[in-house]
Amino acid sequence: MKKAEEDLIMDSHISTGESPDVDARDDFVFPDPWRTGVYEAIYRRRDVRRFRSDPVPMDMLARILDAAHHAPSVGFMQPWNFIVVADRLTREKVQDLFERERVAAAQFFDEPRRSDYLALKLAGILDAPLNLCVTCDPTAAGPAVLGRNSVPETDLYSTCCAVQNLWLAARAEGLGVGWVSILKLPHLRAILGIPPHVVPVAYLCLGYPERFLPQPELEAAGWRRRRSLDGTIRYETWDRATHPAWPALDRLARRITPEDSPMKRIIDATRRIAPLDALAMAAARVRQGSLTKPQGSLGRLEDLSITLAGITGNDRPRFPRKAVFVLAADHGVAGAGVSAYPQAVTAQMLLNFASGGAAINVLARRAGARVVVADLGVATAIPAHDRITDRKIGFGTRNMADGPAMSLEEALIAIATGIEIVEAEVDRGLDLVATGDMGIGNTTASSAIVAAITGAAIADVTGRGTGVDEDGWARKVATIERALTVNQPDPGDPLDVLAKVGGYEIGGLVGVILGAAARRLPVIIDGFISGAAALIATELCPDARDYLIAAHMSVEIGHRILLERMEVAPLLNLGLRLGEGTGAVMAMHLVDDAVAVLSEMATFADAGVTEQNIVLASREKDGVSHTLSEGA
């Protein structure tokens, strides 16, 4: 685009700040930051219903209204007006209107959908500091409007384009918009004094959101899923959903959305994480109850076997193919003297994993697990090695005490990378996943994550990592304090927390967890660092929690707090603090034991043992009568 044309366009806008140099390009394509920005605004826009009360800056409001005003309109009629509603009394009246309609609309759904509907939050009229009513005036351009004679509703369509412009511009400014359509229009007209010939098209809530969800709230709540793009495309005529000459478009339509943007990949994985299979669990529970032993006598191993049945959808699950994912990266914060080891150790250990000499290699061999080693952001260049997956996102994160450790984009890429790594292994054949980490400085990042999300005192979630002394510990606490003050991570937004105080390998592990859960695989979580990743994964997608098995209780003091937050109990307590996935592969033996008992033990019927005999036998043994089953 010519510079003069560019200037003309920019001049007609309220400036959004410095624009990148466009002279460098001689075609019509936007420079990369602009192009990406457009798509990011589209993919990250959400309908927001939960707002903070802080006011919307007036210059920002002016910019987004101006963006709305630059929408296309039929015959360039610009039929819109914007009523800005700040008055609390007016908003209370609209809220009453909404509440009446919301309850009345419940009749359209049968149970249990009705209860689900009533539990949804469907508007933030009073929470948001501002409401906006976007109206359409069909008379705005006189009686004859170019292009509108055949379809008079094009004036309304044009107004919707203005709403969408506003919605996207608001997103780019960090503002949330929620559209409230559960309102009777005649009443709304009366409250806002809208004349009869003008149509109130959109009633919007506007303000800073509590958070931007990665997927639509209705989708996260299990109300409805996004259709796939390929299912929306027709070729030439309505009845042709595929086209022999255009298989590429079909394939691309299926692929583009999830694969082209890390965010879409993450959403795609979280969308596939289903609740546990209740039927398989019920069958496993019945079988557990019929095995030749007193009920519950194998303690948590019995519950574990039932959970594993629910995860896999198989009441006699088996896990012959196992892998531990050891993701490595460096942390800028290591430069602040928070670790007992120098940063160079991360790279050295990575090579040690690759050559099979580390603790994780030994323990994984004994558990029959393959070790998948990946570099997500080690600070030095790692020589090509066929046992190291090179997925480097950067050469170490930035020091979180000075600003965000990663950009949001990097954090998203880290998660998407983890998803891709686990998916590649699933495609090779995989039944059981374990997580592991390597990164000097990563207990500092993990403590910061736990403090940010749980609100726990920093000193209560900060341990000694690789073994720092008293001074080192005090430095670590002070560094985390500074990082949280400087970055102000939003506890309600796990992606924000990950980006600001997390790390590449932690993000990667979030992806491994989500990707594995999406493929119905159990994920054994190692210690503190894997736990911090699991915390982010479960804050992003609560259903992922059901797929987690906490291997052990780490020596790191923050571990207990994060496990309590996720409501998962560790299997082992061995005083471990090595990381690498060592505790997780030890727990693989217990997982195998749990399912072997479930599958291989004889039932009372198989063994010809009556349940009563067992009662008598156990009574003789310890003088106590055990009730072995309901029928005993």
Ligand X SMILES: Cc1cc2nc3c(=O)[nH]c(=O)nc-3n(C[C@H](O)[C@H](O)[C@H](O)COP(=O)(O)O)c2cc1C
Per the document, the length of the chain is 632
Q: Contact at 8 Å (CB) between 385 and 378?
A: no
Helix (H, G, I), strand (E, B) or coil at 378: coil
State the nearest-atom distance from the C-beta of 47 to ligand X, in Å: 3
**Ramachandran category for residue 403: left, alpha or beta (phi over 0 → left; psi -120 to 50 → alpha):** left
State the nearest-atom distance from the C-beta of 93 to ligand X, in Å: 17
Among residues 473, 474, 472, 496, the alpha carbon closest in space to that of 484 is found at 496
Q: Which is nearer to ligand X, 179 or 395 (CB)?
A: 179
Query: Is 281 one of the binding residues for ligand X (CB under 6 A)?
Result: no
Q: What is the DSSP string of 300-346?
A: HHHHHHHHHHHHHT-SS----SEEEEEEEE--GGGGGS-SSS-THHH
* Contact positions with ligand X (CB under 6 A) in 180-239: 180-182, 216, 218
Query: Is 268 one of the binding residues for ligand X (CB under 6 A)?
Result: no
Count CA atoms within 13 Å of residue 67 on its CB side: 18
Q: Please give the Cα distance from 227 to 232 (Å, whole number).
A: 8
Tokens at residue 549, please? 């098995």
Query: Is 47 one of the binding residues for ligand X (CB under 6 A)?
Result: yes
State the nearest-atom distance from the C-beta of 182 to ligand X, in Å: 4
Instruction: Give the count of residues interacting with ligand X (CB under 6 A).
Output: 11
Give the residue closest to ligand X by C-beta: 216
Q: Which is nearer to ligand X, 226 or 385 (CB)?
A: 226
Among residues 281, 369, 365, 283, the alpha carbon closest in space to that of 322 is found at 369
| Cα 260–chain centre separation | 17
Q: Which is nearer to ligand X, 159 or 339 (CB)?
A: 159
| Contact region with ligand X (CB under 6 A), list: 178-186, 273-281, 379-387, 612-620 | 178-186
Q: Please give the Cα distance from 394 to 407 (Å, whole number).
A: 11
Among residues 406, 408, 386, 385, the alpha carbon closest in space to that of 396 is found at 406
Among 179, 246, 395, 473, binds ligand X (CB under 6 A): 179
40, 302, 505, 580: the catalytic one is: 580
Q: Which is nearer to ligand X, 262 or 310 (CB)?
A: 262
Query: Has 153 been annotated as catalytic?
Result: no
Q: Which is nearer to ligand X, 216 or 492 (CB)?
A: 216
User: Quick one: how many helices (H) and strands (E) in the chain?
Assistant: 25, 10
User: What x-and-dash track marks residues 48-87 binding ligand X by CB under 6 A?
Assistant: -x--------------------------------------
Tokens at residue 322, please? 């196992």
Query: Is 580 one of the binding residues for ligand X (CB under 6 A)?
Result: no
Q: Which is nearer to ligand X, 46 or 391 (CB)?
A: 46
State the nearest-atom distance from the C-beta of 97 to ligand X, in Å: 12
User: What x-and-dash track marks residues 27-46 binding ligand X by CB under 6 A?
Assistant: -------------------x
Among 64, 65, 123, 498, binds ligand X (CB under 6 A): 123
Q: Please give the Cα distance from 223 to 118 (Å, whole number).
A: 12
* Bridge partner residues of 460 (DSSP): none
State the nearest-atom distance from the C-beta of 19 to ligand X, in Å: 28
In the complex, the residues that contact ligand X under the rule CB under 6 A are 46-47, 49, 122-123, 179-182, 216, 218
Which amino acids are annotated catalytic? 580
